[in-house]
Copies of this chain bind each other. A is one copy, B any other.
Amino acid sequence: MISRPASPSVRSADDYRDTIEQLLRPLAARSVDTVPVAEALGRQLAADTHAPIDLPVFRNSAMDGYAVRAQDVAVTPVVLPSTGVVAAGDPGLERLAPGTARKVMTGAPVPVGADCVIPVEDTTADADTVRITRGRAAGEFVREPGSDVRTGTELVPAGTTLAPRHIAACAAAGLARLPVFAPVRAVVISTGDELVAAGSTLRPGQIYNSNGIALAAALTANGITVVGVEHSGDDLSQFRRLLHSATAAADLVITTGGVSKGDFEVVREVLIPLGGDFGSIAMQPGGPQGLTVVDGVPVLSFPGNPVSAVVSFEVLARPILRRLAGLGPVPEYELPLLGAVHRSPEGRRQFLRGKLVWKGSRPHAVEVVSGPGSHLVASMAAADVLIDIPAAVTELPAGATVRVWTL
Contact = CB atoms under 8 A, between A and B. Distances in A.
A329 interface: yes
B229 A194 contact: no
Query: What size tier do the contact residues of chain A reach?
Result: 35 or more
Interface in A122-171: 143, 147-149, 153, 155-156, 163-171
Contact of A264 (B88, B163, B229): B88
Contacts of A85: 263
A212 B209 CA distance: 43
Interface in A53-73: 53, 55-58, 60, 62, 64
Given A106-B304, A264-B88, A148 B376 contact: yes
A273 interface: no
A327 interface: no
Contacts of A58: 204-205
Interface string A176-212: 1100000000000000111101111011111111110
A377 B202 contact: no
A14 interface: no
B217 A167 contact: yes
Contacts of A210: 168-169, 171-172
A377 B55 contact: yes
A85 to B, nearest CB: 6
Interface string A216-236: 111011000000010000100
Most buried by B among A88, A153, A175, A176: A88
Contacts of A155: 378, 381
Contacts of A147: 373, 376
A37 to B, nearest CB: 6
Contacts of A234: 87-89
A400 interface: no
Contacts of A262: 64, 87-88, 105-106, 120
Most buried by B among A58, A86, A105: A105
Nearest to A146: B378
Contacts of A366: none
A53 B202 contact: yes
Interface string A238-264: 000000000000000000000011111
Given A88-B194, A166-B381, A375-B143, A202 B174 contact: yes
A213 B378 contact: no
A407 B202 CA distance: 48
Most buried by B among A171, A310, A331: A171
A193 B378 contact: no
Contacts of A107: 192, 194, 207, 304-305, 375
B209 A171 contact: yes
Interface string A267-306: 0000000000000000000000000000000000000111
A332 interface: yes
Interface in A85-138: 85-93, 103, 105-109, 120-121
A380 interface: yes
A381 B93 contact: no
26 contacts: A38-B213, A38-B216, A55-B377, A57-B202, A62-B373, A87-B234, A89-B194, A89-B234, A91-B204, A105-B262, A108-B194, A143-B373, A153-B378, A156-B381, A164-B215, A164-B217, A164-B407, A165-B380, A165-B381, A168-B211, A168-B380, A171-B209, A171-B214, A172-B207, A172-B208, A176-B199
Closest 5 CB pairs of A and B: A89-B194, A89-B193, A176-B199, A168-B214, A149-B378
